[in-house]
C-alpha cells in the first residue's frame, strides 16, 4: 500500500530531467467559505464575550430587587430611561433580561457539565466493558430517549420545590443520553485500534487502558458535546420556566418573562416578549456557532451537518 | 515453547476465520508464517499474543495453558510477548511522544524508574535520534514510527516476539534494519519469534523455518 502511494506521489520528471512543479498538499479552494466562517467565528466570539461580561459586571453595578414593582410605570414602551421598556408591573426589562440571562447561563453551563460527566461515564463504561453490560446500559439509554426530553424534565422538576437546582437536575438528567451515545461510539472505535492491543500486550490494566488511552481520545468529542449542550440546556430552562415549573415566578428568568408577557402581547405590547426572546436566541446561537467551528476542527468531513 | 493447539478463531462464531490450526514455536526458534492477504494469519498472530480469544483451542505457553486472553491473561503472561503490528500509524497512541510511547509498558507495569536507562539503550539500537524521541507520531515517518514500535515491543525484554507483517509498509533499508534489530535481540536473549507475512523471500531469509498457511490444516483460506 505504501509503495503505491509513493509511486502516485512521486514527482514526475520532465524530459529535461528536472522535477515538474507539483503541489501535493494543496487543498482545493473553498469559494467564499472561509470568509463567512471567519465572520461567524468573530461575531459569535464577540457576542459570547459580551454576554459573559454583562452577566458578571451588571449585577455588581445595578443590584436588582427581584420583588420590587412600580405600578405607576407599567408597560412603558422602550425609551431612553428604559431601553427595553417595562413589564406589566413596571419593572425595567433590560435589567431583568440581564439577570435572567445570568440564571440561564448558570443553569446551562452547570447542567451541561453534569450531563457531560454522566454521559461520558456511562458511555465510556458501556463501550469499554462491551458485551451484556453494554447492551443493558444502551437499552436504558434507549428507554430514556423514548420519552420526550421535556416531558421527562417536567416530571423531574415537579418532584421538587421551584428553584434553580431542580431545574439544573432536570436538564442534566434528560441531556446525558446523546453524550453517552457519542462517547460509547467513540470508545468502541478506539477500542479496536492496534494501539490498544499494544497497551494490553505491554501489561496495562483495564483501568490504565481506559484512563491513559481511551479517555483522552474521547475528551474532545465529550467537550464539544458539552458546549453544544449549553444552548439546549438554556432552551430547556426557558421552556420549564415558561410552563411555570422552573424558577419561582417573581425571579427574573427569561422563560418567566416570556410567559408573563403573553397577556400584554395580545394587547399589542411587543417589547416584553421580543427582548427576553432575543436574549434567549442570540446568546445560544453564538455559543452554538463557536461550538460548530470547534466541531469542524475535530471532524472536517461532517461540515454539512453543523449549521445550527 | 509456544504452542497453538487446534485453534479456531474469528470475529463471528458462525464464520471463523481460522479453523482448527495448530502451530508450534520452540524456544529460541524463528518461525515464519506465510499466507495470502485476508487468510486469517493476523488473527492467528493475535491469538498467539493473547490479544484475541479463540472460539476453540488453547495457547500453551512454556508447557502451561494460558489463563486467559487480553485482560484475563495475567500481566506476566501478556508481557512475555513483544508484539509489532503492520501499521505503525494505528499501533501508536497519537498523543504520546515517541519517548513515552517506547517506555509506556514500563510505566504500565510499575517499573517507571527503569524508563530512562532502557530508553537510552533502545533508541540507538533501533536507530532513533534524540530529536525524534520528543516528537509525536504524526510528526515522524512510517519507518521511524515502526522503529519506535519495535523498541516498545522490546522494552520489557519479552521471551516471544510476534511480528505481524512488521515490514509490509516499509522500504527495503528500513526492513533490513528492523530485521537486524530483531535478530540481534534474539541472539542476545534467546527469544522465540513468530513472524507473519506474505513476503516468501524475506521470511525464508529471516526465519529458521517457514510454514505456509495451507500446511496448517486450515480451511478458512480466502475468507
Q: What is the pLDDT of residue A7?
A: 44
A295 lies in some domain: yes
Residue after which a domain boundary falls, among B101, B135, B157: B157
Residue A213 DSSP code: I
> Does the pLDDT at position A68 exceed 90?
no
| Residue of B79, B90, B199 to mutate, testing the A interface (most A Cβ within 10 Å of its Cβ) | B90
Angle at A139 between CA A133 and CA A141, to 5 degrees: 105
Q: How many other CB atoms sit within 10 Å of the CB of residue A268?
A: 6
- Tell me if B177 is assigned to some domain: no
Using 50, 70 and 90 to split pLDDT, how confident is the model at A15?
Answer: very low
Give A21's pLDDT tier (boundaries 50, 70, 90): low
Burial class (CB in 10 A: 0-12, 13-18, 19+), B198: middle
What contacts 24+ positions apart, CB below 8 Å, involve A96-99?
A: A96/A64, A96/A252, A96/A257, A96/A276, A97/A252, A97/A254, A97/A257, A97/A275, A97/A276, A97/A279, A98/A54, A98/A55, A98/A58, A98/A59, A99/A58, A99/A59, A99/A64, A99/A66, A99/A252
Residue A42 belongs to a domain: no
pTM of the model: 0.74
Task: Give whole-number Cα distances, B107 to A94, A161, A202, A210, B187, in Å.
Answer: 58, 51, 9, 15, 26
Among B108, B143, B153, B174, most A C-beta atoms within 10 A, so best to mutate, is B108
What mean pLDDT do residues A12-24 have? 49
Residue of B nearest to A205 (CA): B71
Range of weakest confidence among A74-78, A127-131, B210-214, B215-219 = B215-219
Q: Is the domain of B94 the same as that of B54?
A: no
> At residue A11, does pLDDT exceed 60?
no
The predicted model gives B131-150 an average pLDDT of 92
Q: Looking at the structure, do residues B90 and B144 belong to the same domain, yes or no?
A: yes
Query: For A113-127, A135-149, A256-270, which range has the lowest pLDDT when averaged over its residues?
Result: A256-270
Q: What is the pLDDT of residue B122?
A: 94
Whether residue B181 has pLDDT greater than 90: yes
Give the CATH number, domain containing residue A261: 1.10.3720.10
Quick one: B90 and B75 in the same domain? no
Q: What percent of chain B has pLDDT over 90?
A: 70
Report the pLDDT value the prediction gives residue A300, as an integer from 0 to 100.
Answer: 54
Q: Is residue A5 over pLDDT 80?
A: no
- Residue A24 located in a structural domain: no
Residue A200 confidence class, pLDDT cut points 50, 70, 90: very high
Same domain, B10 and B60: yes
In a domain, B172, yes or no: no
Q: What is the mean pLDDT of residues A28-48?
A: 76
* In-domain check, residue B6: yes
Check B78 against A1: CB less than 8 A apart: no
Residue A28: its pLDDT value, please? 54
Q: Specify whether B53 is located in the same domain as B88.
A: no
Mean pLDDT calculated for residue range A257-262: 85
3-state secondary structure of A13: strand
pLDDT digits (tens, 9 = 90+) for B10-46: 988 888 888 888 999 998 999 999 988 888 889 999 9
Q: What's the number of domains chain B is made of?
A: 2
Mean pLDDT of A274-292: 88
Maximum average pLDDT range among A80-84, A163-167, A250-254? A163-167
Chain B interface residues (partner A, CB cutoff 8 A): 46, 49-51, 70-71, 75, 78-79, 81-83, 85, 87, 90-93, 95, 104-105, 108-109, 142, 149, 152-153, 155-156, 168-171
* Domain assignment present for A37: no
CA distance B70 to chain A (A): 6
For chain A, give the percent of residues with pLDDT over 90: 17
Domain contains A18: no
**Contact: A202, B49; criterion CB under 8 Å:** no
For residues A222-248, give the mean pLDDT.
Answer: 86
| Structure confidence at residue A307 (pLDDT) | 40
Residues of B in contact with A206 (CB under 8 A): 71
Residue of chain A nearest B42, judged by CA positions = A194
Q: What is the pLDDT of residues A123-173, one digit of tens each?
A: 988 888 888 989 999 999 999 889 888 888 888 888 888 888 999 999 999
Please tell me which residue of chain A has the smallest CA distance to B107: A204
Residues of A with CB under 8 A from a CB of B: 1-2, 193-195, 197-206, 208, 212-213, 216-217
In this prediction, residue A308 has a pLDDT band, given cuts at 50, 70 and 90, of very low
Q: Under a CB-based contact definition with an 8 Å cutoff, are residues B23 and B4 in contact?
A: yes
Domain annotation covers residue A231 = yes
pLDDT tens for residues B43-98? 999 999 999 999 999 999 988 999 999 889 999 999 999 999 999 999 999 889 99
Residue A112 has pLDDT above 60, yes or no: yes
Please indicate whether residue B171 or residue A248 has the higher confidence score (pLDDT): B171
Asked whether residue A89 is assigned to any structural domain, the reply reads yes
CA-to-CA distance for A269 and B219, rounded, in angstroms?
81
| Alpha-carbon gap, residue A65 to B103, rounded angstroms | 61
Interface test with A, best of B38, B76, B85 (most A CBs within 10 A): B85
Number of domains present in the structure of chain A: 1
Does residue B184 lie within any of the structural domains?
A: no
> How would residue A304 be classed by pLDDT, with cut points 50, 70 and 90?
very low
pLDDT surpassing 60 at residue A47: yes
pLDDT at A161: 84
For cell 526465519, the residue is B207
Residue A19, helix vs strand vs coil: strand
Confidence (pLDDT) at B223: 31
Any domain includes A69: no
- Residue ranges making up the domain that contains B142: 81-157
Residue B149, class by beta-carbon neighbours within 10 Å (0-12 exposed, 13-18 middle, 19+ buried)?
buried
- Position B46 scores a pLDDT of 93
- Indicate if B88 and B147 belong to the same structural domain: yes
Q: Which of B94, B216, B119 is nearest to A212 (CA)?
A: B94
Single residue among B136, B157, B178 that ends a domain in this structure? B157
* B39/B87 same-domain check: no
B142 contacts in A (CB within 8 Å)? 2
Task: Give the residue numbers spanning the domain of A156.
Answer: 47-55+84-305
Pick the more confident residue, B157 or A243: B157
Average pLDDT, chain A: 81
Give yes or no for residue A50 having a pLDDT over 50: yes
pLDDT at B190: 92
* pLDDT for position A306: 38
Pick from A1, A5, A198, A205 the residue to mutate for testing the B interface (most B CBs within 10 Å).
A198
Using an 8 Å CB-CB cutoff, list chain A residues near B51: 197, 200-201
We report the CATH number of the domain holding residue B27 as: 3.40.50.300
Cell 467513540 found at: A186
Amino acid at each position: 500500500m505504501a509503495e503505491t502511494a509513493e509511486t502516485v506521489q512521486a514527482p514526475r520528471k520532465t524530459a529535461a530531467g528536472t522535477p515538474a512543479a507539483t503541489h501535493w498538499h494543496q487543498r482545493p479552494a473553498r469559494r467564499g467559505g472561509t470568509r463567512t466562517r471567519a465572520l461567524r467565528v468573530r461575531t459569535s466570539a464577540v457576542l459570547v464575550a459580551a454576554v459573559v461580561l454583562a452577566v458578571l459586571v451588571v449585577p455588581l453595578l445595578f443590584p436588582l430587587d427581584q420583588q420590587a414593582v412600580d405600578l405607576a410605570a407599567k408597560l412603558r414602551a422602550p425609551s431612553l430611561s428604559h431601553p427595553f421598556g417595562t413589564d406589566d408591573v413596571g419593572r425595567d426589562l433590560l435589567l431583568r433580561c440581564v439577570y435572567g440571562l445570568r440564571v440561564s447561563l448558570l443553569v446551562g453551563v452547570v447542567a451541561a457539565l453534569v450531563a457531560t460527566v454522566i454521559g461520558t461515564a456511562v458511555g465510556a463504561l458501556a463501550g469499554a466493558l462491551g458485551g451484556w453490560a453494554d447492551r443493558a446500559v444502551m437499552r436504558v439509554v434507549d428507554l430514556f430517549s423514548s420519552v420526550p426530553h421535556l416531558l421527562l424534565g417536567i416530571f423531574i422538576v415537579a418532584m421538587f420545590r421551584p428553584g434553580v437546582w431542580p431545574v439544573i437536575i432536570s436538564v442534566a438528567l434528560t441531556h446525558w443520553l446523546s453524550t453517552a451515545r457519542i462517547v460509547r461510539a467513540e470508545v468502541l472505535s478506539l477500542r479496536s485500534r492496534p494501539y490498544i492491543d499494544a497497551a494490553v500486550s505491554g501489561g496495562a490494566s483495564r483501568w490504565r487502558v481506559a484512563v491513559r488511552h481511551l479517555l483522552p481520545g474521547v475528551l474532545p468529542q465529550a467537550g464539544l458535546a458539552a458546549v453544544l449542550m449549553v444552548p439546549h440546556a438554556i432552551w430547556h430552562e426557558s421552556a420549564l420556566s415558561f410552563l411555570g415549573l422552573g424558577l419561582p415566578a417573581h425571579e427574573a428568568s427569561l422563560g418567566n418573562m416570556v410567559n408573563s408577557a403573553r397577556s400584554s402581547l395580545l394587547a399589542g405590547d411587543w417589547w416584553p416578549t421580543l427582548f427576553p426572546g432575543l436574549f434567549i436566541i442570540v446568546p445560544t446561537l453564538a455559543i452554538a456557532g463557536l461550538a460548530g467551528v470547534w466541531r469542524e476542527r475535530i471532524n472536517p468531513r461532517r461540515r454539512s451537518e453543523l449549521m445550527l | 515453547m509456544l504452542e497453538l493447539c487446534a485453534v479456531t478463531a474469528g470475529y463471528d462464531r458462525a464464520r471463523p476465520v481460522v479453523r482448527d490450526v495448530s502451530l508450534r514455536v520452540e524456544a529460541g526458534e524463528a518461525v515464519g508464517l506465510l499466507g495470502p492477504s485476508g487468510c486469517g494469519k493476523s488473527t492467528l498472530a493475535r491469538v498467539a499474543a493473547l490479544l484475541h480469544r479463540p472460539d476453540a483451542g488453547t495457547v500453551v505457553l512454556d508447557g502451561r495453558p494460558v489463563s486467559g486472553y487480553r485482560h484475563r491473561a495475567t500481566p506476566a503472561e501478556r508481557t512475555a510477548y513483544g508484539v509489532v503490528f503492520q501499521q505503525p500509524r494505528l499501533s501508536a497512541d497519537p498523543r504520546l511522544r515517541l519517548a513515552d510511547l517506547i517506555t509506556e509498558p514500563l510505566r504500565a507495569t510499575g517499573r517507571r524508574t527503569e524508563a530512562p536507562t532502557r530508553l537510552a539503550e533502545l533508541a540507538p539500537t533501533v536507530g532513533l535520534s534524540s530529536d525524534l524521541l520528543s516528537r509525536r507520531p504524526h510528526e515522524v515517518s512510517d519507518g521511524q514510527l515502526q522503529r519506535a514500535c519495535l523498541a516498545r515491543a522490546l522494552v520489557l525484554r519479552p521471551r516471544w516476539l510476534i511480528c505481524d507483517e512488521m515490514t509490509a509498509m516499509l522500504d527495503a533499508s528500513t526492513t533490513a534494519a528492523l530485521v537486524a534489530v530483531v535478530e540481534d535481540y534474539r541472539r542476545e536473549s534467546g527469544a522465540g519469534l513468530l513472524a507473519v507475512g506474505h513476503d516468501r523471500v524475506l521470511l525464508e531469509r529471516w526465519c529458521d523455518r517457514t510454514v505456509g498457511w495451507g500446511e496448517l490444516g486450515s480451511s478458512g483460506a480466502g475468507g
